[in-house]
């Protein structure tokens, strides 16, 4: 009998995708609730009491999703100590790309000087960054990539109807990015992704390429349509479910989580998720009051703020989660 047969074949060492650096970027212009009340019939009290939002950032004329993504990416690369030439893959979550094609990821790749690596966009609405992170994690875990740039970037104010107070008060522009490196010690433990296209018309934009841009069509115009109360109910239920799924998959108790970094859509949804985890709000990263809903940009923006402020420390368990149009929802559990 050979030695290999008698001792067994050594199991392969698991490769994790570790966050090596984070970065974010917000447009210079800030639009407060008070300023918004001069545009549409609303007030600071009305917005804040329903959403927790006090202000949002708005991209300048000519400032694109790609511009925001670039600045966030540069900061993430600097924090990671990684040169653009080392990037094997770029995955960019967005629902507001610069162009129909090429992808914003390709435009970002060239601007960074990372030409040659794979680069593509992921559109999962507000879950875009979590979906992009899950894709990148699988590339690293499989050995197909060692260094990946993952970005969430949006200019949602470009599709806001500023006369519709139930939606225009919610959204802002911004971008966040992380650099993932292959690691044998720590990193992303699991990701969990879901979608339900049957709920399309509860949160959607009714125009597109193959369905057309007809101005006289029902709900015509590049605008966000949302059934707010229905979205709220589905979001809370879906996030409860994916949190439970994440904990069960990792054999963890809810009290094992050090930080919750949720999608920043609505403070009430965030508080409901924290309550489900029996987690005090002091351990929940909240930026919705200052950023509004930046869709796929919100989770990486909040993560970068938490890291740079010193709240999130190496070795801590961090739960990321998001819910968006589609419906899409998902989570990522990582040991930072």
Catalogue the active-site residues: 126, 263, 293
In angstroms, the CA 320 to CA 152 distance is: 13
Phi, psi of 5 (to 5 degrees): -70, -35
Smallest CA-to-CA distance from 196 within 133, 142, 127, 132 is with: 127
In angstroms, the CA 202 to CA 226 distance is: 5
Task: Report whether the peptide linkage leading into residue 102 is cis, meaning its omega lies within 30 degrees of zero.
Answer: yes
In angstroms, the CA 157 to CA 154 distance is: 9
Q: What DSSP character marks residue 119?
A: E
Q: How many CB atoms lie within 10 A of CB 62?
A: 6
Task: Report whether the peptide linkage leading into residue 327 is cis, meaning its omega lies within 30 degrees of zero.
Answer: yes
The helix/strand/coil state of 314 is coil
* Residue 198 token pair: 């049957």
Burial label, 119 (beta-carbon count in 10 A; 0-12, 13-18, 19+): buried
Cβ 80 vs Cβ 179: under 8 Å: yes
Buried b (16+ CB within 10 A) or exposed e, 273-310: bbebbebeeeebbbbbebbbbbbbbbbbbbbbbbbeee
In angstroms, the CA 45 to CA 29 distance is: 22
Cross-strand bridge partners of residue 30: 57
| Cβ-Cβ contacts under 8 Å for 103 (sequence gap 6 or more) | 92, 97, 119, 120, 121
């Amino acid at each position: 009998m050979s030695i290999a047969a008698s001792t067994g074949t050594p199991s392969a060492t698991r490769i994790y995708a570790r966050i090596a650096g984070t970065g974010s970027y917000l447009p210079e212009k800030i639009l407060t609730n008070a300023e918004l009340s001069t545009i549409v019939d609303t007030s600071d009290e009305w917005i804040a009491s329903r959403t927790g939002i006090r202000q949002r950032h708005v991209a300048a004329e000519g400032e694109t999703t790609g511009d925001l993504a670039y600045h966030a990416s540069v900061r993430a690369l600097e924090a990671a100590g990684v040169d653009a030439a080392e990037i094997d893959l770029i995955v960019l979550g967005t629902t507001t790309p610069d162009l129909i094609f090429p992808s914003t990821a390709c435009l970002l790749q060239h601007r960074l000087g990372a030409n040659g690596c794979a680069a593509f966009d992921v559109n999962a609405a507000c879950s875009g960054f979590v979906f992009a992170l899950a894709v990148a994690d699988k590339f690293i875990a499989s050995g197909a990539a060692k260094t990946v740039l993952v970005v969430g970037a949006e200019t949602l104010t470009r599709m806001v109807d500023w006369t519709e107070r139930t939606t225009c008060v919610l959204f802002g522009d911004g971008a966040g990015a992380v650099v993932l490196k292959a690691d044998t010690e720590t990193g992303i433990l699991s990701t969990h992704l879901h979608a339900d296209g049957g709920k399309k018309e509860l949160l959607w934009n009714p125009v597109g390429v193959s369905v057309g841009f007809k101005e006289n069509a029902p709900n015509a115009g590049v605008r966000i349509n949302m059934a707010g109360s229905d979205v709220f109910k589905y979001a809370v239920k879906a996030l409860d479910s994916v949190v439970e799924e994440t904990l069960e998959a990792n054999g963890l108790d809810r009290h094992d989580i050090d930080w919750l970094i949720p999608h920043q859509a609505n403070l009430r949804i965030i508080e409901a998720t924290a309550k489900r985890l029996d987690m005090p709000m002091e351990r929940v990263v909240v930026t919705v009051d200052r950023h509004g809903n930046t869709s796929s940009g919100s989770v990486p923006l909040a993560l970068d703020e938490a890291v740079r402020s010193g709240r999130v420390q190496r070795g801590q368990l961090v739960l990321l989660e998001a819910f968006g149009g589609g419906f899409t929802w998902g989570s990522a559990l990582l040991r930072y």
